[in-house]
């Protein structure tokens, strides 16, 4: 029998619903990961979730679908894996609050006044994690954390008022929960994505790892753990993400898509660093007139593309005026 070669969306969908797979790790960036994830759910595969848009854009559609097919959605991101791990054994009604930790990104120690001068090279240099350009910039703006707030809301059914962001520069505590009796439970480890990825694929089991090859936490090397409240003036992405989450429906997917497009424009040196959030906010404001609270899959994909085109057209047409374009060194 000759092998069949498939590419693009068709290939991703066929791989996702392959009959020999028990679980599917969804790691495709953006709404491109939504269609194969839906295919995997309909084929009865458990989802090891590393694609944020599955819930951020598709939550209102994907969660009922997963319930219909009896599929588990297991988080592979470090923060949501941490929450998932410390929730094991927690009784119903035992969760009071989710506390997402954020490194603060590349500019956590910068005064707000300096952010207008940020270059691309500076924005893609993370103090703790080794990641791609887009997610590193999202870490600098704290948009990654805002999107994780939305994802946590969908994953754990927690109200937005009960999800908090805390700056934790060392990135040793990956997130925490506060229980009903005020205990705080945390998951700790070095900044390393191997553990959350492994746990999401091995759950509910724990895989024994070798001392020689695994980055086990050394408290004496970790030394100190510090925390501080995030500055809303420095990180306007937080307020924007909470507002999009509370609006619900297609607004969260629009925010995510707009951010992806505006970050790419910054990387391409077409807009300045501070313009990223200005564009995102303007796009969300424009979407209010077309907001769909209970979207189907076609509407989710449609408004993802709508947001990307809106951001592009706003800049190309001159309707949006970048405050300053800063070229990378």
Q: Which residues pair with 324 in a beta bridge?
A: none
Q: Which residues pair with 53 in a beta bridge?
A: none
DSSP 322: -
| pLDDT, tens only, 131-149 | 678 889 999 999 999 999 9
- The verdict on whether omega for the bond into residue 275 sits within 30 degrees of 0, i.e. cis, is no
| pLDDT, tens only, 218-246 | 999 888 999 999 999 999 999 999 999 99
Question: Taking the CB of residue 233, how many other CB atoms lie within 10 A of it?
Answer: 8
Contact 308, 260 (CB under 8 A): yes
b/e 132-142 (16+ beta carbons within 10 angstroms → b):
eebbbbbbbbb
- Tokens matching residue 226: 């510090």
| pLDDT, tens only, 190-219 | 988 889 999 999 999 999 988 778 878 999
Is pLDDT of 130 > 80? no
Between CA 186 and CA 175 the distance in angstroms is 6
Torsion of CA 131, 74, 43, 249, to 10 degrees: -80
Is pLDDT of 1 > 80? no
Contact 239, 232 (CB under 8 A): yes
Between CA 177 and CA 168 the distance in angstroms is 15
Between CA 52 and CA 95 the distance in angstroms is 23
pLDDT value, residue 216 = 86
- Counting other chains too, the contacts that 19-23 makes at CB distance below 8 Å and 24 or more residues apart are 19/43, 21/45, 22/46, 23/47, 23/48, 23/74, 23/201
Q: Where exactly are the structural domains of the chain?
A: 105-141+248-317
Could you tell me the pLDDT band of residue 8, with boundaries at 50, 70 and 90? confident
Contact 119, 329 (CB under 8 A): yes
Total count of residues recorded for the chain: 329
Comparing 170 with 3, the larger pLDDT belongs to: 170
* CATH 1.10.1740.10 at 105-141+248-317, yes or no: yes
Contact 172, 190 (CB under 8 A): yes
Selection from 150, 141, 85, 164 nearest residue 266 by Cα: 141
Question: pTM score, two decimals?
Answer: 0.92
Q: Which residue has the tokens 């290939």?
A: 11
Q: How far is CA 9 from CA 4, 28, 254, in A?
A: 15, 11, 21
Contact 43, 66 (CB under 8 A): no
Helix pair 251-267, 143-156: axis angle to 10 deg: 150
């Amino acid at each position: 029998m000759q092998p069949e070669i498939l590419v693009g969306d068709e290939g991703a969908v066929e791989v996702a619903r392959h009959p020999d797979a028990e679980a599917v790790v969804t790691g495709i960036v953006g709404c491109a990961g939504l269609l194969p994830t839906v295919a995997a759910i309909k084929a009865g595969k458990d989802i090891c979730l590393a694609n944020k848009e599955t819930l951020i854009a598709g939550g209102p559609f994907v969660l009922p679908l997963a319930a219909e097919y009896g599929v588990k959605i297991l988080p592979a991101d470090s923060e949501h894996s941490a929450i998932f791990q410390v929730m094991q054994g927690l009784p119903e009604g035992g969760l009071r609050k989710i506390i997402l930790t954020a490194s603060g990104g590349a500019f956590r120690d910068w005064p707000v006044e300096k952010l207008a001068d940020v270059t691309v090279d500076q924005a893609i240099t993370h103090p703790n994690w080794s990641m791609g350009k887009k997610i590193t910039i999202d870490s600098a703006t704290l948009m990654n954390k805002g999107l994780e707030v939305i994802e946590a809301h969908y994953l754990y059914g927690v109200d937005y008022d009960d999800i908090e962001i805390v700056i934790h520069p060392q990135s040793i505590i990956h997130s925490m929960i506060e229980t009903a009796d005020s205990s705080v439970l945390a998951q700790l480890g070095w900044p390393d994505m191997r553990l959350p990825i492994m746990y999401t694929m091995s759950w509910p089991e724990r895989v024994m790892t070798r001392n020689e090859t695994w980055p086990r936490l050394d408290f004496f090397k970790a030394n100190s753990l510090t925390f501080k409240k995030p500055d809303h003036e420095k990180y306007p992405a937080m307020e924007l993400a909470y507002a999009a989450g509370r609006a619900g429906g297609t607004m969260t997917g629009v925010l995510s898509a707009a951010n992806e497009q505006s970050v790419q424009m910054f990387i391409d040196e077409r807009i300045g660093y501070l313009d990223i959030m200005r564009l995102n906010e303007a796009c969300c404001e424009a979407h209010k007139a077309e907001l769909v609270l209970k979207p189907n899959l076609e509407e989710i994909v449609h408004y993802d593309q709508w947001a990307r085109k809106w951001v592009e057209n706003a800049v190309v047409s001159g309707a949006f005026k970048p405050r300053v374009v800063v070229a990378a060194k």
